Amino acid sequence: METCVRDRQILPTGYRPIPALDYETEALRHCEQGKLYLEMGRYLEALEQFEQALTAHPHDIESWYSRAEALACLSRYDDALQSLEQGQALAGFADTRFWLQKAALFILLHQPEAALNCCNHVLWRSPNHRQAWLFRGVALHRLGQVRAAYRSYQRVAQSDLPPIAESIQKLCHDLAAHHQAS
């Protein structure tokens, strides 16, 4: 119910106009929806959400990272690397998640030297980072440096989680046995 007084509209009590969503909120909404799609394995839909998030807020670091993850799941590794580069430039190259994701992509792209460099960068900042030691071991193994790979795997095995440590130790033993046999 509206009442006009001298050509001025008076709104009913309690009614407040809903402000338009700002760009950052809209980007966050799309990014979170994209993450849900990623978890469900709906990678194309996830990618669309991340693209919309970046359209709304092109400087959203989380959307760049998540977009790279969706692209990697779609086997679009080069595009994923470009997305990581963009996000990393915005994050100031300090976020270890970007370096680790790049290492994984370089391993998939059969570029173990580049993967090794990414892992070393993470380990320089965080010497006990288990995932970085694991990817470093994979990169070294792909480079044919089995003993160095074994040492990297051992660093993962020295963690405080016994089930993981046992699995890694078995893997290291199997790799060493395989290398001796060949």
The CATH number that applies at residue 134 is 1.25.40.10
Considering 69, 93, 117, which residue would you say is the last residue of a domain?
93
pLDDT at 34 over 60: yes
As a whole number of angstroms, the distance between CA 69 and CA 166 comes to: 29
Residue 68's nearest CA partner among 83, 57, 50 is 83
pLDDT of residue 5: 47
Give the helix/strand (H/E) hosting 9: strand 8-10
Number of domains in the chain: 2
Residue 141's nearest CA partner among 167, 115, 164 is 115
**55/82 same-domain check:** yes
pLDDT at 1 over 50: no
3-state secondary structure (DSSP) of residue 176:
helix
pLDDT of residue 111: 97
pLDDT of residue 93: 83
pLDDT band at 12 (very low <50, low <70, confident <90, very high): low
Q: 139 or 6: which carries more pLDDT confidence?
A: 139
pLDDT of residue 169: 63
User: Is there a contact between 68 and 61 (Cβ–Cβ < 8 Å)?
Assistant: no
Residue 43 makes CB contacts below 8 A (sequence gap 6+) with 37, 70, 73, 74
Give the pair of three-digit tokens for residue 22: 């700002």
**122/177 same-domain check:** yes
pLDDT of residue 140: 96
Cα Dmax for the chain: 95
Domain span at 47: 1-93
pLDDT at 132 over 60: yes
3-state secondary structure (DSSP) of residue 10:
strand
What percentage of the chain exceeds 90 in pLDDT?
63
pLDDT of residue 9: 56
